[in-house]
Homo-oligomer: A and B are copies of this chain.
Amino acid sequence: MKNLRPELIALLKKGSCTPRLSKLAAKTHSKATTIHYNIKQLESQGVIKTYKAVFDYKKVDAGFCTFVLVNLDKKEYKSPEDIGSMLAEYPEIESIDIITGEWEMLLKVRTKDISQYYEFSKKVLSLRGIERTQSLNSLFQIKTEFVKMQ
């Protein structure tokens, strides 16, 4: 018997969910078929990207959250998007933004703990094109992904 949990968590983190039409119908005082029509429209217009789960990240070995400000080495890459899409493959990285100001990129990273973060940083933050980084540690999360924690 294999442990399904890690596989389920990985799938739910990015998708494998669906809107609850009956609940939405009740909350908006309309019929399920009307919601169905409206949701299909949002989906086909690309308004909705996916449906996913939000976790208590402490309980899925991702309780250590770090924001990483990144300076990119202009000589080493074609465009910030190129490094960005490489980084996007790492499951530890929750978000990647190209930003204004002193730093070119901001990452949000989730690992189990500080030592797993150290492993991540050795592996990822030394990639060609990444010149310098500064990390800000999250001590406490009040809201994530529009969802209040606690």
Contacts and interface: CB of A to CB of B under 8 A. Distances in A.
Count this chain's copies in the assembly: 2
Contacts of A65: 97
Contacts of A91: 146
A98 B140 contact: yes
Contact of A8 (B9, B24, B103): B24
Given A136-B100, A136-B101, A38 B4 contact: yes
Interface in A79-98: 80-81, 84-85, 87-88, 91, 93-98
Interface in A132-150: 136-149
Contact of A95 (B45, B81, B88, B145): B145
Interface of A: 4-5, 7-9, 11-20, 23-24, 27-28, 30, 34-35, 38-39, 42, 45-56, 59-60, 65, 67, 80-81, 84-85, 87-88, 91, 93-101, 103, 106, 136-149
